């Protein structure tokens, strides 16, 4: 037993990271709430501008996503397992502005994809005399529960060469999340868990219509070995990418993530996939269902002036 002077006081992660967060930007007021957000009413999340859930189990992520939708709040989820990680984004319905050089061809106010449309276009003359075009685009999203069971985009499914390049991490994460929902935990290293996870990953790979040869045994083994691991370079990359996207979303500038990004630290690749139900044209913003939660939630203007962030365990 340690002497009393050496015993460390137990502290929630939300409270423990506050001093380090304050060092990053003293102008931001940081509040730590160690309570369980699942005990809060859904209206609790209307207090915040963005809901970000990190390193949580899949059932909890679904619950938090539903709460964000119920309160019309942008939702992010992210997680890391060793060299691998993901970011998921549900902005419900999001308008943003991009600026580009004016083309000789007129811009048509039409859908660019099943989930993206150009809703307005104006022009202005820049200081250098060039004519700039200012486009307002609209993205429609769906919750993670639907995205996790949606097929790949038609433009991928129709091109075998591109299908061979789709990361097997998509199948691995889908298998991991189904295993979690079935067992309430991550798979261990028992032969039973390894067999179940392999069967699930193979099934998910087949559902996505991906070539069987791209889901190699070495990929499955490395993914399983990395479960619950955390590497600083991987968390730094994903955290920076997520933070930049949040800033863009709150300032309504630049095209956001739509809607899954996977990071492979071995290949240092971060492909993005828009995963939506088959009837993507029917996607509409909705209030979702009851549920609530988050891990880090910025509140306020991320660009100018003081702001507040609440960290919740």
| 223-252 per-position pLDDT tens digit | 999 998 999 999 999 999 999 999 999 999
Beta bridge partners of 11: none
55-91+142-292 carries CATH number 3.90.226.10: no
Name the burial class of residue 240, with classes exposed (0-12), middle (13-18) and buried (19+) by CB atoms within 10 angstroms of its CB.
Answer: exposed
Alpha-carbon distances of 187 from 57, 222, 228, 293, rounded to whole Å: 12, 13, 10, 24
Laid out side by side, the sheet with 116-125 consists of 93-101, 131-140, 116-125
**Distance from C-alpha of 153 to C-alpha of 146, rounded to nearest angstrom:** 14
Centre a 10 Å sphere on the Cβ of residue 20 and count the other Cβ atoms it contains: 9
- Distance (Å, whole) CA 233 – CA 224: 19
Instruction: Return the pLDDT at 299.
Output: 33
- What's the pLDDT score for residue 155? 87
For the chain, which residues score pLDDT lower than 50?
1-9, 280-308, 312-313
Pairing of strands 260-264, 272-273: antiparallel
Q: Return all residues near 307 (Cβ < 8 A) that are at least 6 apart.
A: 27, 28, 29, 298, 299, 300, 301
pLDDT in the model for residue 42: 82
Residue-range domain boundaries for the chain: 55-91+142-292, 94-140
Q: Mean pLDDT over all residues of the chain?
A: 85
Q: Measure the CA–CA gap between 35 and 73, rounded to whole angstroms.
A: 21
Q: Provide DSSP, the chain.
A: ---GGGPPPP--HHHHTHHHHHHH-TTEEEEEE-S-GGGS-GGGGGG-S-EEEES--HHHHHHHHHHHHHTT--EEEEEEEBTEEEEEEE-SEEEEEEEEEPPSSPPP-SBSSSSEEEEEEEEEE-TTS-EEEEEEEEEE---HHHHTTPPPPHHHHT-HHHHTTS-THHHHHHHHHHHHHHHSS---SSHHHHHHHHHHHHHHHHHTT--GGGS-HHHHHHHHHHTT-B-HHHHHHHHHHHHHHHHHHHTTBSPPP-SEEEEETTTTB--EE----S-GGG-------S----SEEEES-SSSS-EEEEEE-
pLDDT at position 20 is 87
How much is the pLDDT for 305? 34
What pLDDT was estimated at residue 311?
A: 52
Cα Rg of the chain (Å, integer): 21
User: Are the C-beta atoms of residues 145 and 177 closer than 8 Å to each other?
Assistant: no
């Amino acid at each position: 037993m340690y002497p009393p002077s050496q015993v460390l006081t137990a502290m929630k992660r939300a409270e423990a990271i506050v001093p380090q967060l304050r060092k990053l930007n003293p102008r931001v007021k940081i509040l730590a709430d160690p309570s369980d957000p699942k005990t809060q009413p859904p209206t609790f999340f209307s207090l915040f501008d963005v809901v970000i859930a990190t390193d949580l189990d899949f059932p909890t992520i679904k619950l938090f996503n539903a709460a964000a939708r119920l309160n019309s709040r942008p939702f992010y989820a992210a997680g890391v397992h060793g060299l691998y990680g993901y970011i998921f984004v549900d902005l419900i319905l999001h308008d943003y502005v991009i600026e580009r050089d004016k083309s000789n061809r007129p811009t048509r106010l039409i859908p660019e994809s099943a989930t993206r449309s150009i809703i307005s276009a104006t022009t202005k003359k820049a200081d250098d005399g060039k004519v700039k075009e200012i486009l307002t685009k609209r993205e429609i999203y769906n919750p993670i529960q639907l995205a996790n069971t949606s097929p790949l985009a038609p433009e991928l499914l129709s091109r075998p060469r591109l299908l061979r390049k789709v990361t097997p991490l998509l199948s691995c994460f889908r298998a991991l999340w189904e295993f979690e929902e079935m067992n309430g935990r991550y798979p261990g290293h028992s032969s039973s868990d390894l067999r179940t996870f392999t069967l699930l990953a193979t099934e998910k790979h087949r559902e996505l219509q991906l070539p069987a040869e791209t889901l190699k045994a070495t990929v499955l083994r490395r993914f399983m070995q990395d479960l619950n691991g955390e590497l600083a370079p991987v968390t730094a990359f994903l955290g920076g990418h997520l933070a930049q996207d949040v800033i863009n979303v709150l300032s309504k500038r630049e095209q956001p993530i739509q809607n899954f990004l996977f990071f492979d630290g071995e290949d240092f690749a971060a492909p993005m996939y828009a995963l939506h139900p088959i009837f993507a044209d029917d996607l509409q913003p909705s209030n979702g269902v009851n549920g609530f939660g988050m891990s880090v939630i910025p509140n306020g203007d991320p660009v100018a002036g003081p702001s507040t962030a609440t960290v919740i365990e």
